[in-house]
Structure 1
């Protein structure tokens, strides 16, 4: 059998590749050695699950040089360190269903950094440029521009979050959330020490380490909470109606009693499409909003999106973020968008405004709930805050 185990895996070569990855990028050593190896003839190349088990194809190890195997080790552990499966769980259900498309967007986020860092990777690596996308973004920003069901290798549930055939159904084995949190923090601290020692890191890894060691407010959770609260408030505004008489009416001769009506909320999303707005941030925020609205039952023709710079450019009823047309590029005046949203026959009960904050606001309080989503660096650069009547959520630049 030589260097091969009972599954036919050349374990010596695989471990030599992991050792090389740890020597070349010592700040990843703890994370790399936390991965447990599971030989599999089903997995195409290498893949990981949520419990930090690494599934390895013996044939892939045989055909891949050690230096490229080292790059794949780094690629797979990056999925886990960056919590790709946890972030994928927060995507709208429709986006989660196409796991390979999510995987491609995640690979673009990782490989963008690895290529810049000189990490050797096998032929066919996926980078943002292949899809005409800019570098340096998170996978949530890339996802809307990735084609459906691409033919690519599957990195497992540790990446896209969906169970695949080579993974066990049980949750035993591997490592748990507490250990994972410690591993991420240890790795981020090692990256900081590497930088202090005059080492270099790709921008994506720097950003990740900063977020782990200096966590910012979870804007996705804040935005989801704000939208759910506003929709619940609107749905709770019960009123009386005679269209369907009360069931107590037959007991009262000659008297018709109204029944209570619980209205279904309508939501308007006003999107700032002026020249200062970043496409990635807009896509991420829109995806979050549409996902939350679906979760709380607001869908179909009850969501209107208005593209607005200094004037309203496009109005559309949408069921999915891919149906949104964002046109504009001029000045910024969200007053026009809010006014247009409130002028339609079916007035919304909630208006969500996506903007960088460089806009005038209505002088009077609108007649509905308003959520202002301040996007990008301009949202934290000393710009005046939105009016007190607007609930504000800040989304950092991607």
Structure 2
């Protein structure tokens, strides 16, 4: 029951969903995967992580069917774009203000829906509400929003716009923070099922484009991202180096340089202690003519951050500048100490061979991939290839490769 005693007009609400599915048939699977939950406590309509849609009876009463259909698509867009999953990956400082995150997400969605001529309610939030350009992701909008955000939908008077306490809330299916009106627990659509719905919807978008060519550009871009995902190479590179470092740290051995403390219990016997090495890392940088300075600078900066993240630094990082010959070998503390030279042909085998003289545990090779590689795996050394450019040829299978989007 609503505060005024009215019940949810399900006929009107479901008629709006039917209209949304009829007008945008490529979204039908997603729309009909959502479970309706009546709630007088939700401000308007909101979704949770399990694809349950909480609906205010009063909100349904106020809007005509055409606008309700547009709101249906708005809420489903939060789920299809995995806004709650992306919000979980935000820095803690940004993730804490779920209202602000929600506003940024609405900016990402509503500019696409308005371009698709959907009749969203007049109190909608969109990028131009804050003087921002259209077409960005919510992660880009978030830092661009003013200190106090309001889309005008929360009862603020002219010039007030102080909504930090709430009022605009699409639920945990958007910003990722559980709300009081949500049921919680399991049930609904699982994460695996949600992934399948996204892929099926993306295929439907592409099929609709081939048949009619009438899908809004925002949905077409989203479908391309789902069906042809671009790997976060920074995360992949961090994971590869972290895994190799863990392997090196696990390579414990006995040493007599520091005798075991148990030797005191055994007269005239010297016992060795276990040694756990700190990984030594060599970075071989391809400085041949096919590599650009901007590519190298960006890649080196990222590798520097990766090494700090896994606790490798100090004088345990050696950078080798190499084309068809090694030009500079330098131990560095920061990426600013790196000196690059070269510009000729390409043979990273020469750089790897030179790097091995320092007996590193990990060799990271930054290259465009247009190089020969060692014929066999290296003993006691892991090789990671940071391949700059999406068209870079792949190295042998025993080399861990990460494609760096230039």
TM-score tier (shorter): 0.5 to 0.7
Of the three residues 258, 274, 278, the one matched with 1:260 is 274
Counterpart contact for 1:4–1:11, Cα < 8 Å? no
Counterpart contact for 1:39–1:58, Cα < 8 Å? yes
In structure 1, the residue corresponding to 2:260 is in which secondary structure?
coil
Q: Does 1:238 align with 2:252?
A: yes
Relative to structure 1, is the Cα distance of residues 96 and 233 closer, same or farther in structure 2, using a 3 angstrom cutoff?
Answer: farther
Cα displacement (A) at 1:352: 5.9
In structure 1, the residue corresponding to 2:261 is in which secondary structure?
coil
Q: 1:250 matched to which residue of 2?
A: 264
Cα displacement (A) at 1:194: 1.9
The 1-side partners of 2:183 and 2:217 are apart by 35
Unaligned runs of 5+ in 1: 319-330
Q: How does 1:102-113 map to 2 (within 5 A)?
A: 103=102, 106-113=105-112
Q: 1:325 matched to which residue of 2?
A: none
Of the three residues 150, 170, 173, the one matched with 1:155 is 170
Q: 1:187-243 deviations in whole A, cap 9, x for unaligned? A: 33432332123232234422443455x566866786575344312222223355678
Counterpart contact for 2:70–2:119, Cα < 8 Å? yes
The 1-side partners of 2:210 and 2:373 are apart by 48
Q: Does 1:371 align with 2:384?
A: yes
Relative to structure 1, is the Cα distance of residues 10 and 234 closer, same or farther in structure 2, using a 3 angstrom cutoff?
Answer: same
The 2-side partners of 1:73 and 1:271 are apart by 51
Q: 2:25 matched to which residue of 1?
A: 26
Cα displacement (A) at 1:53: 0.4
Counterpart contact for 1:129–1:135, Cα < 8 Å? no
Q: 1:98 matched to which residue of 2?
A: 96
Counterpart contact for 1:350–1:368, Cα < 8 Å? yes
The 2-side partners of 1:145 and 1:270 are apart by 36
The 2-side partners of 1:293 and 1:65 are apart by 56
Relative to structure 1, is the Cα distance of residues 259 and 176 closer, same or farther in structure 2, using a 3 angstrom cutoff?
Answer: same
Cα displacement (A) at 1:29: 2.3
Cα displacement (A) at 1:61: 4.2
Q: How does 1:67-146 map to 2 (within 5 A)?
A: 67-88=66-87, 91=89, 94=92, 97-98=95-96, 100=98, 103=102, 106-121=105-120, 122-126=123-127, 135=135, 142=140, 145=143
The 2-side partners of 1:44 and 1:268 are apart by 56
Counterpart contact for 2:83–2:174, Cα < 8 Å? yes
Relative to structure 1, is the Cα distance of residues 98 and 194 closer, same or farther in structure 2, using a 3 angstrom cutoff?
Answer: same
Q: How does 1:336-351 map to 2 (within 5 A)?
A: 350=362
Moved more, 223-232 or 31-40: 223-232
State TM-score, norm by structure 2: 0.61
Q: How does 1:292-371 map to 2 (within 5 A)?
A: 298=310, 350=362, 357=368, 369-371=382-384
The 1-side partners of 2:103 and 2:382 are apart by 37
Q: 2:210 matched to which residue of 1?
A: 196
Unaligned runs of 5+ in 2: 151-167, 322-327, 336-342
In structure 2, the residue corresponding to 1:47 is in which secondary structure?
strand
Q: 2:189 matched to which residue of 1?
A: 175
Counterpart contact for 1:5–1:11, Cα < 8 Å? no
The 1-side partners of 2:178 and 2:284 are apart by 37
State TM-score, norm by structure 1: 0.62
Q: 2:402 matched to which residue of 1?
A: 393
Counterpart contact for 1:34–1:52, Cα < 8 Å? yes
Relative to structure 1, is the Cα distance of residues 218 and 256 closer, same or farther in structure 2, using a 3 angstrom cutoff?
Answer: same
In structure 2, the residue corresponding to 1:34 is in which secondary structure?
coil
Q: Does 1:184 align with 2:198?
A: yes
Cα displacement (A) at 1:155: 2.8
In structure 2, the residue corresponding to 1:393 is in which secondary structure?
strand
When Rg is computed on C-alpha atoms for both structures, the one with the higher figure is: 2
Cα displacement (A) at 1:74: 1.1
Cα displacement (A) at 1:102: 5.2
Q: 1:153-182 deviations in whole A, cap 9, x for unaligned? A: 34333234443332223213x234565455
- CA-atom RMSD, angstroms? 5.8
The 2-side partners of 1:270 and 1:108 are apart by 43
Relative to structure 1, is the Cα distance of residues 186 and 387 closer, same or farther in structure 2, using a 3 angstrom cutoff?
Answer: closer
Relative to structure 1, is the Cα distance of residues 68 and 223 closer, same or farther in structure 2, using a 3 angstrom cutoff?
Answer: farther
In structure 1, the residue corresponding to 2:135 is in which secondary structure?
coil
Cα displacement (A) at 1:246: 1.9
Between the two proteins, the alignment pairs up a number of residues equal to 358
Q: 1:321 matched to which residue of 2?
A: none
Relative to structure 1, is the Cα distance of residues 28 and 249 closer, same or farther in structure 2, using a 3 angstrom cutoff?
Answer: same
